[in-house]
Amino acid sequence: MNTPSDVDVDATLRSLLSTLTPKRRRLAALVLDEPEFVALASAQQFGERAGVDPSTVVRFSRQAGFEGYTDLRDAIRQSVFGLQPTPLEKARRRLSQTHPNLSVVTQSFDQDAANLSRLPSANRLDQLDEVAQRILEARSVVLVSGGLSQAVTATFAHLLQLVGVNAHNAIDEVAGAVAIARATEDDVVIGVSFWRYISSTTRLLRLAHERGAWTAAITDSHAAPTAEVVDVVLTADVEAPEISLSVVAPMALVNSLATLCAALAPERGYQALVAVDEIYQRADIAQSGVRKPQEAHDDD
């Protein structure tokens, strides 16, 4: 039997296509055409998408050389996410190296640049506009996340507050539950979650949706658990060569949303910034300094 780390799933399935029954060919086609969905789907979800029962999924997995569907899915995750090796696996790999490889710095820059380059094609402008409009119309915006995604929601909340939006970053699932308990159809709830997904984020989004709040997810795949319980899904790649994931692209995505909010409601954003600047000055918070000019002048 194959293990997730020793097989090329695509090559294996292509070699088997001529021997597969029609139902199993549909499963193989789904793996080849939509591997991101399969990498995150349960056996039941996989079967339903292909129009077959879970037992056929198991038999298909065994014909491909795996003990069962879980091993097949793990192998697909390896090819789709690189495998998204776990942080522990990446650390173990680094420990096995006699000398640090400084090329990883360049690899990190290149990967982040690639993640950023895919943002425009991954997210339709009409969806970005809808999210921004909903944010501006909402009584409040609640942001829920966990783990490293907290860096994204904390930044997003801060940026939205600067443009006059009543935004709140729930620092943990308890704070999220308290905020969502007050949510109505006048509110927006946005969840941020990346592989491996924080289950509480999905649960809180589902509950917010049930209470009538408009919901959105920022995640790394349309097959992510959060994508199933929201009104709009926005995606950003989080691949990284060494650490568990990179939030560079998600940060750029929320920055673009806050920028769009500012552009759609310029007077509101201006008034919010005036108020913030006044408090900064009166509380002596910001330290003055010399800002680098955009153009150099030799007039003096």
Q: What is the pLDDT of residue 81?
A: 58
Would you say 157 and 135 are in contact if contact means Cβ atoms under 8 Å apart?
A: no
- The token pair that represents 94 in the structure block: 């680094």
Q: Quick one: 263 and 125 in the same domain?
A: yes
Q: What is the pLDDT of residue 43?
A: 86
Query: Closest Cα to residue 176, out of 138, 215, 137?
Result: 215
Query: Closest Cα to residue 114, out of 297, 239, 15, 30?
Result: 239
Q: Quick one: 140 and 277 in the same domain?
A: yes
User: Which of 81, 101, 124 marks a domain boundary?
Assistant: 81
Strands (E), the chain: 140-144, 167-169, 187-192, 214-219, 232-235
| Residue 177, in any domain of the structure | yes
Q: What is the pLDDT of residue 206?
A: 96
Q: Quick one: 233 and 126 in the same domain?
A: yes
Q: What is the pLDDT of residue 300?
A: 43
| Residue 162, in any domain of the structure | yes
Q: Quick one: 189 and 263 in the same domain?
A: yes
| Residue 100, in any domain of the structure | no
Q: Give the domain CATH number at 51.
A: 1.10.10.10
Q: Quick one: 120 and 255 in the same domain?
A: yes
Residue numbers of the chain with a pLDDT score lower than 50: 4, 83-84, 298-300
| Residue 98, in any domain of the structure | no
Q: What is the pLDDT of residue 91?
A: 57
Q: Give the domain CATH number at 234.
A: 3.40.50.10490
| Residue 250, in any domain of the structure | yes
Q: Quick one: 278 and 141 in the same domain?
A: yes
Q: Quick one: 35 and 155 in the same domain?
A: no
Q: What is the pLDDT of residue 228?
A: 83
Q: Quick one: 120 and 240 in the same domain?
A: yes
Helix axis angle, 149-162 to 248-264, nearest 10°: 20
Q: Is there a cis peptide before residue 59, judged by omega within 30 degrees of 0?
A: no
User: Which of 81, 107, 124 marks a domain boundary?
Assistant: 81
| Residue 44, in any domain of the structure | yes
Give the Cα separation of 284 and 187 in Å (integer).
34
Q: Quick one: 64 and 160 in the same domain?
A: no
By residue range, what is the domain housing residue 73?
Answer: 9-81
Q: Quick one: 40 and 189 in the same domain?
A: no
Q: What is the pLDDT of residue 83?
A: 46
Q: Quick one: 31 and 153 in the same domain?
A: no
| Residue 50, in any domain of the structure | yes
| Residue 270, in any domain of the structure | yes
Q: What is the pLDDT of residue 54?
A: 87
Q: Give me Rg for the CA atoms of the chain.
A: 23
Per-residue CA distances from 88 to 40, 54, 93, 106, 244 (Å): 20, 32, 9, 22, 9
Say how many domains are in the chain: 2
User: Which of 61, 81, 101 marks a domain boundary?
Assistant: 81
